[in-house]
Each structure stands twice: as structure tokens, then as C-alpha cells.
Structure 1
Amino acid sequence: MKKLLTASALMFGVMGTGVAQAAEEVNVYSYRQPFLIEPMLDAFTKETGIKVNVKFAKEGLAEKLHQEGEYSPADVLLTVDIARLKELDSKDLVQALDSEVIEANVPAQFRDNDDRWFSLTLRSRGVYSSRDRVGKLGDDFDYLDLAKPEFKGKICTRSGKHPYNVSLISAIIANHGEAAAKAWLEGVKANLARKPQGNDRAQVKAISEGLCDVSLGNSYYLGKMLADEKQIPWAESVYLNYPGQDANGTHVNVSGMALAKYAPNKENAQKLMEFLTSDVAQKMYAELNYEDPVKPGVASSELVASWGEYRADDLSLESVAENHEKAMKLLDEVKFDL
């Protein structure tokens, strides 16, 4: 009997330790590469003592969460692009989080109406132009201008169905209507210098090599190219332009977060999510990733600021997400990638 009691005591001791340990942890599933978010997570651990465990996924995050169901260890979900945030929401893989801190830090335009997802950083979709052959595009330049005959054979872009482009098309539908968006896609396709391919940096490389003169691309890639010795010549061959300054404004997408539906460490998850919207984390995002902070009053990095100020489109991300299926349908209709 004494041995049994001792064994039982040991067992409960281990279980107790396990519970205490879990209470000081938070589990993150992330589409964002570890090196992009680790500095913020390390700062959170240093401030709170809560350990952050990260699982990185290049794709299939929603499928993984669905398979794990209520036994999923995921607490916080980190991803990029409104389409991916809405996917997690529409598949009922997240839960609402009522946080006065987050609501104060993240403008309503950049969070879900029901508090099921929140933006962390802003990612403007700019247009790169050749310094030598085109020069800087003026404030009157708009995305719609890319469909004009003057750009015949001069445009490079990644796949139209990449989330970054789908969200841009969704915004054009919201601002100008479906018919206008289809006409725009047809015009841009007619102006392509080559079949859509590669990523945003590959388009800037193509400009530097003289294959095209302008390309669509997220602004932060300019910072990433300037930080890579081999890619500096690409970056120095282009100007970054913010379209729509005399129209609807520059389209912005986001990186964002959500609270997993079955989060086992909900209290710690909330602490982490609130920290990621704080001045400290927002400034780190700005300096390390060349993205714009979502929290008003936190300055962009000196490098990003040197690219110029811009007025962002004031469309809510909900409005953009609502047109995702229409955008995909139009891409198929005009056979944009073929």
C-alpha cells in the first residue's frame, strides 16, 4: 500500500508539474517564417517568462488544424494576407477574442467585425518601375493605368492567382465594380512582357535585366533586396511607386493573427496577441521586416520612410475578402496565367 501511495504521489506530482509548465507556455502555428517572428516572440518571453513554441507551415495550416480538431495544441495562428485569415475564419478554426488592448491598438478597418482575427502589419502592394527606362511614376498614377496601351509588352508579374494579386483584384472589384475589374485584367494581360511567373523579387530582377519595365510587388521586398548583397543591383535598378494617390489610395494587405478555436492556453495566447500589437513589437516588426506598423503612432523604419509617404486605400479588409471568389472567377475567365 505504501508503494502504491508513493507511486500515486509521484504520478500526481508529474501531472501537476505538467500543468504548471503548460500554463507558462503558448503554442503558435505560423505561415510566417521563424526568423521573421522570433525576435518578437523572444521579447515576449523575456518580458513575461512565457515560453513560445512555434510550428512553421509553408502550406496546409487549415487542413492541419481541421485534422487535429479539439485535440490541437495550437493557441495562436499567424499568417499573411486577408484571404488566409478569412479561410481560417470561414472553416471555423478560430474563436473570437474580446480584448480592449487589441481593439485600442488595431484600427477597426484592419480587424474582424466579430474579433475573430486581427492585423499585425500593413503590406502595401506597389508598382516597381525601371529607373533608366521609365523613371518615377507620378502621384496621378493608378493601378488602372497598367491596362493602358502605353504599357504594351512592359509589365511583369507573378501569378494572378497568388494571394497578393487576388487581394488587389478584389479591392479593384470593390472600388470599381466587377466589369471594370475584368476589363482591367484583360488589359494588363495584353500588356504582359512574359507569362506570369516567379515571385515579387523575380519581377524586379526581370526589370534589372531589361525583360520588362514595370511590375507589381509588395513594398517590403525592396528592403529585403537591399539587405541581400546579390540582389542590391536589382533594387537599385527600380523606383517603388505607391499607386492611387489621386484616386482610391494604395492597396494594402496585412499579416495577421487569430486565436485558435481550441486554444489550450487561452490566457497566455491573449497575452501574446496583445503584446504583438504593442509599441515594442510593432516597432520591431517595422525595423526587421520592412512592413508598416498597424498601430497608429508607431513609426515605420527609417529605410521604409525614405521610400516616401503614401495614402492607403481605406477599404475595410472585410470588403476585400468578400470579393475573393469573384476575383478568382475573373482570373479564370480572362485566362490570366495562360
Structure 2
Amino acid sequence: MTDAGGENEQRREAIEDEAVAWLVRLGGGDQEPAALKAWLRESAEHRRAYAWAKRHFDSSIILKTSSRHGRRRAFRPRNLLARAAIAAAIITIVAIGVSFMSVPPMQGDRQLSDNAPVLKTLPGQIDTFDLADGSKVTMDASSRLTVSIKGNERRLRFQQGRARIAVRSDGRPFIVEAGQGELLTRAARFDIGRKSDGRIEIAVLSGQIELRRLLRPAVIRSYSHHAQAGQTIVYSAGNFRPVAGLRDGVDRRDWPQGWTEYEAIPLRILIADANRYARPPIVLDDPALGDLLVSGRFRLTQADRFSARIADLFDLALSRSSSGIHLQRR
């Protein structure tokens, strides 16, 4: 009895081997020799792997001109560790390249220009961007993602923080990569964020999405998971095993306006959420205060009013210093 899963795994690894080897050997050049064209004609998997890798390799001038991996050396990775190292190198260099074109964060809606593929927000800031295709991205404090809109697809890479994405339908797929998974839709509105434990959380507000696993940077596994409005999905950033999100007593639907509603959650969690925006931070001088349970709807973006309300709710003393807004027992 054969192990079909193992055979499929080996086949995907072989495809990645060849795609990366072709790119490194050719130095990312546009000319494709007959042998490469024949390989691409063999299957859609070959073409998909090569197209994905080339899109990232084109940004990597270091690899193109490297004496180690450049045109002079016919390089063929022979094991899993080598493949992972090459893929990581390509992605790292791309990330370094785009970081020099970051958008200076500012308040208000803005049109994303062609020379600004990185979107990010400062601590304490919520910002909204209008993409070139008409889609809208609202980013929470200390968030970051990259954008690539081309003729055949629209692709974002979520890196940190939280974002609400409203996708405008225009016929092209809209893809968001996050950890070892990617989200695919044509028209939907959803939140995507990284939880405190490192997991990716996706909450679908309208429309429908498909989640797929990125088994390797260049090869997508056929396994997929569908979600629709009202559903929340979570998975580990390093291991794509999506599961339904559990209710945690927090309603975050209005976070882009600064509001969040809580039901019987520890005060420490509420304070941690408020400190996304508070500068200086809000501090519980007695850590035991963090065990107090709190319910209510709070505007977290107004640190002074928020901290005064918490002090009133629990009859706490409030003081300010250069190190923070302090809450302590009377």
C-alpha cells in the first residue's frame, strides 16, 4: 500500500526544486530557453510555481548578481533545508527592498500611489488607505502590510497588527497572504489580524472567502477552507490548520471608529487593548487589579477619557507622570 500523501509531498518538492533552480540559474532574466518553456508547458503546477517565484525574484537584485547564486553557477538545491533557505532569502530580500519605499503614516484617507507598496501605521494610529482598484484598507495601530496590484490579480501580504479590508469586485482575484495561509476572494469585507499568541485571526463581515494553505512559498496545496459572513477563522501563523474562532467576550466590529465592546473580561485585557493607542501607556500599579472583571462599550482611542472612566468604575485613584497614566487603589 503506497502513501499517496508522501508521494504528493515529494512531487511538490520536486516542482519547487526546479522552479527555484531555473530562476537562480537564469538570474531572473526575461529570456526563457526552450528547455524552460517545455518544462512550463508540462503542467499548470509548473507555471504557477515559476510565476510566483519570479514575481519575488525580480525584486532581488542581490540574488541576480550574486557570484554564489548568479548566472555563472548552475544551482540545484538537493534537500529540504536548502530549499527553505533559498525561499527565505528571496522573501527577506524582497522585504528589505520595499522597506525603503514605506508610506509616511498620516491621518485621513489616502490614495495608494504606484511607488508605495508598503502600508504601515504608527503606534496609537488608525489609518485608512484607498487602493488603486477601489478597495479600501483600514489599518489599526502598529500594523503593516505590502500591496501589489497587477493586471491579473491583486495581492496583499499581511505582516503585523490588524486591518479591515473592503474588497471591490473588478473581476480579478484579491489575495491576502498571512503566515502559512492565504485568503482568496473577489468581493468581501473582513478583518485580519495577529492575536497576542501569534495566531492569525480572520473575521468575515460580508461576502465569502476561501482560505488556502501555502505549503511552500512557490507551491500552493489544493486543500482549502471556505468561510462566509459572520464566521471567524483562526490558525497558527506557522502551521495552517484553520479552526472556528471561539467567542471571547469581545465585540470588535467597530474598532475602526475606536470603539470596542466587552463582556465580563479581565481588566488587564481591556488595558492591553487600550494601550494600542495610549501614549504614554496606561499602567495598573497593582497587578492584582488586572483580575477585576469589566463589561461595557469603550472608546479606546481616547486614553484620558478611557482611563478616567475606568477609575470611576472601580473607584481607583488616577495620576499622570512621564512614564504613564497610573491607576491605583485609593
What's the TM-score, normalizing by structure 2? 0.23
Q: Relative CO higher for 1 or 2, CA cutoff 8 Å, sep ≥ 6?
A: 1
